[in-house]
Amino acid sequence: MPVASTPLRFPRLLLTGAAGGLGQVLRPRLKAYCDTLRLSDIADLGSAAAGEELRPVKLEDRAGVLSLLEGVNAVVHLGGVSTEQHFDLILQANIVGTYNLYEAARKHGVRRIVFASSNHVTGFYRQDEVIDANAPMRPDGHYGISKAYGENLAQFYFDRYAIETVSLRIGSSFPEPKDRRMLATWMSYDDLERLVMASLTAPVVGHSVIYGMSDNTTTWWDNTSARHIGYRPQDSSEKFRAAVEARQAPLDFNDPAVLYQGGAFVRTGPIE
């Protein structure tokens, strides 16, 4: 069931990447927590519903992003390239674009950002390891590197300018896990909502890093250090285990995607 409404409401929230997979999931859910939901993406956002504002902006457009954050109380930043791509594409959307977002937040006095980082920041840890947010970053590609940059940028903007961020190292948020790897990384849409709202409403977060996952039986990530956020997942991938294991072919332990937490991202070759 969807999460119950909270009495805490924001006058205006900004959701970037609103036309993406998780953006489409969060769009109707976030509206319950704010008077006005400002939506941004370079893809088609459709028509504005009641209480919505549509503001398509390229993240690499510094002036456009500055205007985008005017009058905003908090940001859920999902925007950018979400797959492994040529570095030039990653650079503009995920690195230049994230810098533009934080600079705009500083100039407009926005005090809280929820940053969609990724488990690919630590994708080169093995699947037989359990790590927490204090483990050194080991990104598994250009995409993971860009999210590592975003986390470091968030730390800098908190240390220098007191802008608070919760960096969400999102695992695999889909209706159900697609393979055995996702039995560890899966996060339900309801738990995604719980995590985002906990990140927006926790009284004090500084710069906190938390892995985005449900209460799965198999896990590689320890979120103990982020319990102050108040996120308590209520779903689990376990109910899907039998079906997932029945349909997946035997694992090839010579395949790095089987050994490392980043899955297929760790064996993506050069992208020209």
DSSP track, 70-98: TT-SEEEE--S--S---HHHHIIIIIIHH
What are the pLDDT digits (tens) for 40-98? 999 999 999 999 999 999 999 999 999 999 999 999 999 999 999 999 999 999 999 99
Tell me which residue of 222, 229, 232, 241 sits closest to 125, measured CA to CA: 222
Helix, strand and coil percent figures for the chain, each rounded to 5: 40, 20, 40
Residue 3 has pLDDT above 50, yes or no: no
Interval 243-260 mean pLDDT: 89
What are the pLDDT digits (tens) for 168-193? 999 999 999 999 999 999 999 999 99
Query: What is the set of domains in the chain, with CATH numbers?
Result: 10-267 (3.40.50.720)
Residue 20 has pLDDT above 90, yes or no: yes
Does the annotation mark 189 as catalytic?
no
Q: Which long-range contacts (CB under 8 A, 24 or more apart) does 134-138 make?
A: 134/225
Q: What is the pLDDT of residue 269?
A: 62
Q: What is the pLDDT of residue 145?
A: 97
Report yes or no on whether pTM surpasses 0.85. Answer: yes
Among residues 99, 102, 125, 143, the one annotated as catalytic is 143
Q: How far apart are CA 79 and CA 20, in angstroms?
A: 8
